[in-house]
Each structure stands twice: as structure tokens, then as C-alpha cells.
Amino acid sequence: MIEDFFLRALAGGIGAAFAAGPVGCFVVWRNLAYFGTALAHAVLLGVALGFLLDIAPILAVFAICLLLALCLVLLERQRYISVDALLGVLAHAVFAAGLVVVAFMERLRVDLIGYLFGDILAVGIFDLWLIFATAAIVIAALAWQWRNLLSITVNRDLAAVEGVPVERVRLLLLFLLAAVIAVGMKIVGMLLVVALVIVPAAAARRMATTPEQMAVASTAIGIASIVAGLFGSLEWDIPAGPAIVLVASAIFALSLLIPVRGRAGRAD
């Protein structure tokens, strides 16, 4: 018989997939994977600060991810160091800071593995509320700014000339990514959370001919990966987070068999 904790895990995973699906598309379209990785590295510091300040760890993770996203946007404006190098520095600095703070806290040390690799089977009612609220906000924000987001994805200057508030839309996208990372880390852990965001999106590419189709397909693949991964982990007694990412990766590999739809009827 299916236990309650398993149903909560399923619901939490599906909720996270709803948020991660469309955001993941923008991450692969705009090459933001490095951004996502940097945000994920801040998770540990968030958890530690949450314990220190006695607030729910997932809320602290939220706060620290949003703060880091804001820092990255501000630091991006300087011209002295490339964004990639900057992300590398910041990501590992916040990760190291997280490890140092954790080392001072006896109680937290045992849970470290859970944050690194996720603990989907421990998803509680409060987590579920937070995951579904996040998913609803993310989807509503994407729908509201969809045209502007696509516009800056294709070309920022063109979007700016056409009246899109480029900086604000970009900040919104990074905030949404930070929110997805914060809830996704509960599902598959900080080491694999970026995979939860980009693998379904990448797998959806060959199934879509419009950006909207790709966002929907990405969400569907994310949900399928969560469900198959969880049942797989139950069946063969393997860790749930890695199982979910493996299923998504397998779908990606299979998607490469779908032929590319190019400019039909025209010889190049």
C-alpha cells in the first residue's frame, strides 16, 4: 500500500516540476545553467543561517538565493571581470561560507547529506504548501511577462529599443530561477537541483516547434521523471533524487532519436 510520506513526495515533486519546467526552458535558452549552479551553492549557507536564526531552513534558503540573484545582477554591470569568472568566485565563496557555518553546528552535521542529495521522502505539509505556492507564483509571473521574457531571450538590445524594461525582466527571471532552486533542492538536493531544471527542458527541445510547446513538454517530462524516479526508488530501494535525475537524463537521450524538423522542402 502507498504510504502518506510517498504521496507527499509525489505531490512535492510534481509541484516542483511545474515550476522548474518552464523556468528550465529559459535557463537553456539563455545559457543560465552557470547562474543556477551558483544559486544552488548558496543553499547550504541558507540552511545554516536558517538554523542559526531559528527560521524554517527552506525560507532561509529562499532569502539567500534571492539575495545572491540580486548581487549577481548588480555585479554583472561592472566590466572588469567576466560574468562566468564572477559566478565561479561567488558560488564557491558562498559554498565555503556555508560549510564553515555548518561546522560550528553539531546538530546540523548529520543532515548535510540530505541537503546535498535531497530528501524528497521527508517532504512535509509545510513544504508542500511552499512548493505549490512557489509554483503558482512562478507560473503566474511567467505568463504575465511571457512576451517580454521571450523578447530579451532573443536579443536584449532589440527588446530595449522596443520598450521592454530589460533589466527588470531579467531580474524577475533570476528571482524565479532562485525560487525554483530553493524548492528544487528539497526534492533532489543542491548537487542535482540544476539537473532538475535543465535536463527536462533540454529533453523537450525536439518535441516542440514553439517556445510554449517546449515549456509544456518540459513540465510534462519533469513530472514523468519525478513519478518514474520515485516508483523506481521504491521498487529497487535506490536513492530517490538521483533516480529522478537518471530518468530525466534517459528521456533526454531518447529524445535525441526524434528527427530534427528543419526548413522542409528547401535544399541548402
Partner 1 sequence: MSPPSSSESARTPPLVEARGVCVRFGRLNVLDNVDIVVRAGEIMTLIGLNGAGKSTLIRVILGIVKPDSGEVRRAPGLRIGYSPQHLHRDQILPMTVRRFLTLGAPAPPAKLATVLDEVGADSIVDFPLAEISGGELQRVLLARALLREPGLLVLDEPLAGVDVTSQGDLYNLIASIRDRYGCAVILVSHDLHLVMAATDTVVCLNRHVCCSGRPQSVVRHPEFISLFGPQLSDTLAVYQHMHDHRHDALGEPVPADSGAAQDVRRAGRHP
Which positions touch partner 1 (CB under 8 A)?
Answer: 28-29, 79-80, 147, 150-151, 153-155, 157-162, 202, 205, 208-211, 213-214, 260-263, 266
CB-side exposure of 230: number of CA atoms within 13 Å? Answer: 25
Cβ distance to partner 1 smaller for residue 109 or 147: 147
d(CA 247, CA 192): 13
Cβ distance to partner 1 smaller for residue 172 or 208: 208
What is the smallest separation between the CB atom of 66 and partner 1, expressed in angstroms?
26
Give the residue from 204, 58, 54 showing the smallest Cα distance to 134: 58
Give the residue from 251, 217, 253, 211 showing the smallest Cα distance to 29: 211
d(CA 133, CA 234): 27
Cβ distance to partner 1 smaller for residue 80 or 236: 80
Cβ distance to partner 1 smaller for residue 61 or 152: 152
d(CA 198, CA 185): 14
What is the smallest separation between the CB atom of 20 and partner 1, expressed in angstroms?
17
d(CA 128, CA 144): 24
What is the smallest separation between the CB atom of 146 and partner 1, expressed in angstroms?
11
- Are the C-beta atoms of 184 and 196 separated by less than 8 Å? yes
What is the smallest separation between the CB atom of 36 and partner 1, expressed in angstroms?
15
Cβ distance to partner 1 smaller for residue 55 or 158: 158
- Fill in the amino acid letter for 194: V
What is the smallest separation between the CB atom of 202 and partner 1, expressed in angstroms?
8
CA torsion, points 208, 209, 214, 217, in degrees to nearest 10?
-30
